[in-house]
Amino acid sequence: MNKKAEELKKEILRLTREYSTLLHQPNLPASKQQLPFVPGETTIPYAGRVFDADEVEAAVGSTLDFWLTLGKEGAAFEKELASFLGVKYSLLVNSGSSANLVALAALTTHKLPTHKRLQPGDEVITVAAGFPTTVAPIIQLGAVPVFLDNHPSTGNIDVALLEEAFSPGKTKVVMMAHALGNPFDLGTVLAFCRRHDLWLIEDNCDALGSTYSLPCEQAAALGITENSPGIPSNGKCITRYTGTWGDLSTQSFYPPHHLTMGEGGAVNIISRSPLKAYAESFRDWGRDCWCASGKDNTCNKRFEWQLGELPKGYDHKYIYSHLGFNLKPLDPQAAIGRQQLKKLPFFIEARKKNWEYLRVGLADLENFFEFSQPTHTTAWNKETGFTWDGSGCKTDCSWFGFMLRVKSSAPFSHTDLARHLDQKKIGNRMFFGGNLVRQPAFVQLKRDRPSAFRVVGQLSGADEIMSKALFLGTYPGLTRAMLDYEIGVIRSFCVPS
């Protein structure tokens, strides 16, 4: 770049920061916001982008370079995310939904041993209530989802029916999400997967920064001996981030999530290096070549391969070993993500504090609500916090949302409450798709192909979540004034003056 161009870029980026500072005040973290909050007039979203001039400058700077397609920023982000989590590799894709598709597709490769390869008609154990794109790839790839129930208090899988769901020779994978940032019972699920030699895919889209602790003896039996980076050891438990316990995991960087690129996601390869090549192939058109975009002949034998029925020496850049997709994000998105990643520890702590503030503020409304609890807890007290079960396992949640369930004895329904909150400009959401087997797409699928999915048990917990639960936001843009307003509105709705 010549000197004049460098000077122009520097000035453009200076003005970009000035522009962002003037325009994007509402998107700052709560502690930096200066705009007045007007109760009943200012909308409180359930989630939103939290950023400052750093992200805007990074996006503009990358766009000025005009590489655009995934390049140096993407490569840097992948390394930085993998380093933060403590996984072997992270692979950027264009959404969390694509991440789930790519992660599962990687397990369909013919390069895996037959007994480990997911093939049409094989089964994938999952959970009934959640977001549909955790489950959709199972069906899209020709496999059969096996739905287990949710535990209403955690939103996660009820592990009691895992063994009943297992079908020897058919079950190949367990794939499900950590609900709203609350880790599922990884100790039980991992032991089940090891016992039956199953793959585990953690949908970590709502849980970036959550941790799970497993007693050292149990962790060692599963071959897990080290904490995630930056997490100190207490000598009693192995503590790792969610998304680092299974074989593969997925992230979403859509605006409501823990960090954002606008759109975007990632597949994390925990420890098995070959899975990166398989996932990358499915992400990148199904090609066999692993050269980065803009690079040629990384293998030093570009014209020496003979694969399939192609002539020997056919250009390796145009050899396809899978029926793949093109699911890459753009490099400017990765540039934004790199700045967001620097703020991630702060974002995680803000989410925890906001959840706790709502829990304390609504504590005396237990006649009306059942409150969500972290996995492995049995009770909560305002003074002493959580009481833990006897498993020795613990969770620390980087909450995506604050879920509560309206009791059957309450004089209102969760829809009544949601409607009231909406009228008061307080963002809220149901628990995504609720019980997915009740959704129109799955009802029709069952009519068209009765064997398309299997249900184990009655799914009463998933139904309870669907009919009684909603959640509020916990994202870092929520100010104390906003949280106080939310608490006040809910209290006055439950106990009118």
- Catalytic residues, by residue number, are 257
Q: Which residues have CB under 8 Å from 385's CB, separation 6+?
A: none
d(CA 3, CA 270): 44
Q: Which residues have CB under 8 Å from 100's CB, separation 6+?
A: 133, 134, 136, 137, 175, 201, 203, 250
Q: Is 5 exposed, middle or buried (0-12, 13-18, 19+ CB in 10 A)?
A: exposed
d(CA 99, CA 90): 11
d(CA 487, CA 491): 6
Cβ–Cβ under 8 Å, residues 72 and 331: yes
Q: Please give the structure tokens belonging to residue 433.
A: 């798709």
Q: Is 307 helix (H, G, I), strand (E, B) or coil?
A: coil
Strand partners, 42: none
Strand partners, 387: 379
Which alpha helices (DSSP H) does 244-381 contain, by range?
274-283, 331-361
Beta strand 248-252 with 199-203 is parallel
**What is the Cα gyration radius of the chain?**
24
d(CA 126, CA 115): 20
For 67-94, the three-class secondary structure string (H helix, E strand, C coil) is: CCECCHHHHHHHHHHHHHHCCCEEEEEC
Q: Is 447 exposed, middle or buried (0-12, 13-18, 19+ CB in 10 A)?
A: exposed
